[in-house]
């Protein structure tokens, strides 16, 4: 069974540009999560989808971030316009059930904003 996949693995962009990150969860997992780790800090929760619905987006830093999960399969996270402080590693995770179930993490996308 394929794990969580993320694309791209690395992205380097200029401040003010737009970047879109993609996550493909494990097949059959209704729950999809986005997290971010900035250098020197802990991994921080961004938002949680159940199928195509946003269950919790309390961790989204501001309105420059837009997450979608059309059709309840893969998800995209768009940052527009990117700022220097958006640099970090963006992880996606998925789980079959909610709070008790294991969240399986993808390899992450390393975003560098110059």
* Site of interaction with another protein (CB under 8 A): 4, 31, 33, 35, 41-48, 55-56, 58-59, 91, 98-100, 102-108
Nearer to another protein among residue 41 and residue 84 (C-beta)? 41
Q: How far is the CB of 84 from another protein (least distance, A)?
A: 22
What's the alpha-carbon Rg for the chain, to the nearest Å?
A: 13
Nearer to another protein among residue 12 and residue 18 (C-beta)? 12
Q: How far is the CB of 92 from another protein (least distance, A)?
A: 9
Burial 88-103, CB ≥16 within 10 A → b, else e = bbbbbbbbeeeeeeeb
Q: How far is the CB of 82 from another protein (least distance, A)?
A: 22
Tokens of 30: 């209704």
One DSSP character per residue, 63-78 reads TTEEEE-GGGS-EEEE
**Backbone phi, psi, residue 44, to 5°:** -115, 135
Q: How far is the CB of 81 from another protein (least distance, A)?
A: 25
Nearer to another protein among residue 59 and residue 81 (C-beta)? 59
Nearer to another protein among residue 44 and residue 64 (C-beta)? 44
């Amino acid at each position: 069974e394929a794990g969580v996949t993320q694309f791209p693995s690395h992205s380097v962009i200029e401040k003010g540009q737009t970047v879109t990150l993609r996550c493909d969860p494990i097949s059959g997992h209704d729950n999809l999560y986005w997290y971010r780790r900035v250098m020197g800090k802990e991994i921080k929760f961004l938002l949680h989808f159940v199928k195509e619905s946003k269950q919790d987006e309390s961790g989204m830093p501001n309105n420059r971030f837009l997450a979608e999960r059309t059709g309840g399969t893969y998800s995209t996270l768009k940052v527009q316009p990117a700022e220097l402080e958006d640099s970090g590693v963006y992880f996606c995770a998925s789980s079959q059930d909610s709070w008790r179930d294991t969240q399986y993490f993808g390899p992450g996308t390393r975003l560098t904003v110059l």
